[in-house]
Amino acid sequence: MEVSLIAHLEACDGLSEKLATGLCDLARDVRTEPGNRLFQVYQRRDEPHRFEVVETYADEAAFKAHMATPHSLKFAVWLKDVAVGGTSTLTFLNALP
């Protein structure tokens, strides 16, 4: 069963451009993962310091593998100094028929 989610992030003051660049760099790496089906980064028009990342993985194992990749682990450490709260908030989704 596919795993889909939205990651919500908010840049610290003055760091929106830095967070946007980091997310786009991460996207290039994640899209090469064998179990990744979608990794799309969005910046809110009305609140440009906020970002949403829509992600889909082939299954739970692919999602767990994604979280353990060197680029994901490195990004998580980097995020501590760039995002409010030092992390993202995840909303997991269930697809409807």
pLDDT in tens, 35-61: 999 999 999 999 999 999 999 999 999
Name residues whose C-beta falls within 8 Å of residue 3's C-beta, 6 or more positions apart in sequence.
Answer: 56, 57, 59, 60, 62, 63, 92
The CATH number of domain 3-53+61-91, selected from 3.30.70.100, 3.30.300.20, 3.40.50.10900, 3.30.360.10: 3.30.70.100
Name residues whose C-beta falls within 8 Å of residue 73's C-beta, 6 or more positions apart in sequence.
Answer: none
pLDDT at 36 (0 to 100):
98
Domain boundaries along the sequence of the chain: 3-53+61-91
- Please tell me the pTM assigned to this model: 0.95
Burial class (CB in 10 A: 0-12, 13-18, 19+), 53: buried
